Amino acid sequence: MKSCMVDWKNEYLAQDITYFDHVSKFVDYLLLPAVQKDNQPASISEEDIDKCIGYYVSQGQILSVGSMESHLESIKAFYNFLIQKNYVKECPIISAHYTEFKANLSDKYNLKEPKERTWIGNDDVKMILDRLDSYFDNSDYDKMNDRKKSQFVSRLSLRIYIKLSLIAPAKKAVLLALRFCDFDDEYRNVNINAISIKIPNGLRHDITYAFNFVNEKFNKSFNSKDNLFDYLSDVGDGTKLNLWFYTFLKENNFLDVPENTLSYPVEIINITAIMNLVRQGTNPAYISQLSGITIGSLEKKYYKVYSESLEYKNKMNKEINSEISKIDYYNYI
């Protein structure tokens, strides 16, 4: 007997593979002998979503709040597609109490909160940038299948976001809200948090390449008020960006990403950029304005951590001794 949810899943994933793993898991759950709701889409309820989370927790495949949220977001995205196609009338996850629903699931299944994010080494950053650039240099979009084409388009946004966050580590929401009017006509400067940031030639090339590609392949135009990332690949609130980043890292065996999730926060790139500014002795007031983080929070999260590092202590010892030696009585001592 044919399964409508299986058919719909295949139709959905043929055009968007962002949530491939989680949507597949959801439909696999509906196919279980104890569930058998793959042909009963109208009867799928929020309780079924709850039980689906519980099932994958018991299987060791959902172990954290992050992976649970990724699973829920994938189901919502899948249902948005089904609603647009008039296959179903509504999503079983009720938007009105979505935050409460997630919190209840987290408590019910004793899911772990995500750990405090740390920064990565500059060698890792260079490796990520090099592999992203190599991906586009060695890919032929026209010869790809639908799944690979979707990945290609998503990585256009991923590459631009990562490079933007390295030169202007503002909060993710600020970067994702950038509009075309925030750039000058030739994409040599961008205005972020009231600071004019110069765009390196490499990033400028990536931006113009992405725009030309989307315009040519999808015949999409834009005006000055349009959102940059939505124009490229419908990034939305950034959840997809974390999924794309995870897939890229996993594919290239970078950063030892955990096995129990399908999402990895791109914020680690922003944090790395801020830590580099701190290490270089950049005025904290400037970092605060650019990043949108208060000076107090910068001191707690970045300066305190850096001040406890061996690098800082060695630098402090060297600079203090150098400054003391400049005092006019030093030679007498």
What is the full DSSP assignment across 63-111?
-BHHHHHHHHHHHHHHHHHHHHTTS-S--SS-GGGHHHHHHHHHHHTTP
Q: What is the DSSP letter of 259?
A: S
Cα 66 to Cα 181: distance, rounded to the nearest angstrom: 34
The DSSP H or E segment spanning 190 is strand 189-192
CA atoms within 13 A on the CB side of 15: 8
pLDDT at 113: 66
pLDDT at 301: 86
pLDDT at 64: 79
Tell me the backbone φ, ψ of residue 198, rounded to 5 degrees: -75, 135
Residue where the block lists tokens 């026209």: 142
Cα 125 to Cα 269: distance, rounded to the nearest angstrom: 8
Q: Is 219 helix (H, G, I), strand (E, B) or coil?
A: coil
Q: C-alpha distances in angstroms, 35 versus 19, 48, 55, 323?
A: 22, 9, 11, 73
pLDDT at 192: 95
Cα 166 to Cα 189: distance, rounded to the nearest angstrom: 14
pLDDT at 319: 79
pLDDT at 25: 92
Cα 77 to Cα 178: distance, rounded to the nearest angstrom: 23
pLDDT tens, position by position, for the chain (333 residues)?
678 999 999 999 888 777 788 899 999 999 999 999 999 988 999 999 999 999 999 988 887 787 788 889 889 999 999 999 999 999 999 888 888 999 999 999 998 765 555 788 888 899 899 999 999 998 999 999 888 999 999 999 999 999 999 999 999 999 999 999 999 989 999 999 999 999 999 999 999 999 999 999 999 888 899 999 999 987 877 888 999 999 999 888 787 677 667 788 999 999 999 999 998 889 999 999 999 999 999 988 888 888 877 777 887 788 788 887 887 767 767
Cα 29 to Cα 330: distance, rounded to the nearest angstrom: 76
Q: C-alpha distances in angstroms, 303 versus 164, 201, 267, 273, 311?
A: 23, 31, 18, 14, 13
